[in-house]
């Protein structure tokens, strides 16, 4: 099985977690792209979706699924999203696609976070994947210096701005031994919009596809 086939398999399995008649929270990225296509096949089962990116909104509409405003919905039972890395306690690095801020907002409004990944994303300690931080433009230099004090090298993601109009710094060289502590620290730096560590609120369940089959991880 190639990686796309693994993503397809895990995306299909996530449909089991969608609650009939409810609104579903939808993340971003290529794995979620497969999930949205699967969701399109059962669109009569859902009331609509709250989306975490312009790209996912476009894909949802292509599938005939109504995209609803978070404020109109309030809460939803399930949020489905991918990850760039996930550890055994279901803490994640996200934001490889740049949608981390809206992803964190929609995830926070959901009762249950279902993470869908192929097995290459499961790691014992996070940090090999560069940690994305969305920042207010004028804070780039300041946040870069603070990252250096933590032993990380922040690189501006070239030619990219988020759906919110901000740049992203990708922080290389971190070994994240304390994800909750690091998320808490970076969250309080002036100029940081969102850090792509999802540790304080991790996933509730992870569906992991590898060539031998599907595994379900819970906290
Ligand atoms: C986007 C994300 C994605 O969930 C993450 O990058 C994984 O993407 P993919 O499914 O393409 O590997 O956080 O901001």
Quick check: 203 pLDDT over 90? yes
**149 CA from centroid of ligand 1 (Å):** 27
Q: Quick check: CB of 28 below 6 Å from ligand 1?
A: yes
Residue nearest to ligand 1 atom 5, measured at CA? 83
Domain 131-195 has CATH 3.30.70.260: yes
At 152-164, the pLDDT tens digits run: 999 999 999 999 9
pTM (two decimals) = 0.97
At 77-136, the pLDDT tens digits run: 999 999 999 999 999 999 999 999 999 999 999 999 999 999 999 999 999 999 999 999
Active site residues: 103
Kindly indicate the confidence band of residue 1, based on its pLDDT and cuts at 50, 70 and 90. confident
At 145-201, the pLDDT tens digits run: 999 999 999 999 999 999 999 999 999 999 999 999 999 999 999 999 999 999 999
Residue 219's pLDDT is what?
A: 85
Kindly indicate the confidence band of residue 55, based on its pLDDT and cuts at 50, 70 and 90. very high
Task: Give the integer Cα–Cα distance in Å for 32 and 158.
Answer: 24
Residues of the chain with CATH 3.30.70.260: 131-195
Kindly indicate the confidence band of residue 10, based on its pLDDT and cuts at 50, 70 and 90. very high
Residue nearest to ligand 1 atom 1, measured at CA? 97
Backbone angles phi, psi at 154, to 5 degrees: -85, 125
Residues of the chain with CATH 3.40.50.1360: 3-123+200-218
What are 29's two structure tokens? 């990225």
Strands 85-86 and 92-93: antiparallel
CATH (one of 3.30.420.10, 3.40.50.1360, 3.30.230.10, 3.30.420.40) for 3-123+200-218: 3.40.50.1360
Task: Give the integer Cα–Cα distance in Å for 204 and 201.
Answer: 9
Which of 9, 34, 84, 206 gets mutated to test ligand 1 (max ligand atoms within 8 A of its CB)?
84
């Amino acid at each position: 099985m190639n990686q796309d086939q693994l993503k397809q398999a895990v995306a299909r399995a996530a449909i089991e977690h969608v609650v009939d008649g409810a609104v579903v929270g939808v993340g971003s990225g290529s794995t979620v792209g497969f999930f949205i296509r699967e969701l399109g096949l059962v669109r009569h089962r859902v009331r609509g979706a709250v989306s975490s990116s312009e790209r996912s909104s476009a894909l949802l509409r292509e599938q005939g699924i109504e995209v609803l405003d978070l404020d109109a919905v309030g809460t939803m039972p399930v949020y489905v999203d991918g990850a760039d890395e996930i550890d055994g306690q279901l803490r994640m690095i996200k934001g490889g696609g740049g949608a981390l801020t809206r992803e964190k907002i929609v995830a926070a409004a959901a009762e249950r976070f279902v993470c869908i990944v192929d097995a290459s994303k499961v790691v014992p300690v996070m940090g090999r994947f560069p940690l994305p931080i969305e920042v207010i433009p004028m804070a780039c230099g300041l946040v870069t210096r603070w990252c250096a004090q933590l032993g990380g090298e922040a690189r501006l993601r070239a030619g990219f701005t988020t759906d919110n109009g901000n740049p992203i710094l990708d922080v290389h060289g971190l070994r994240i031994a304390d994800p909750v502590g690091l998320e808490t620290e970076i969250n309080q730096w002036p100029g940081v919009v969102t850090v792509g560590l999802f540790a304080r609120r991790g996933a509730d369940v992870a569906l992991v596809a590898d060539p031998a089959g599907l595994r379900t991880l819970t906290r």
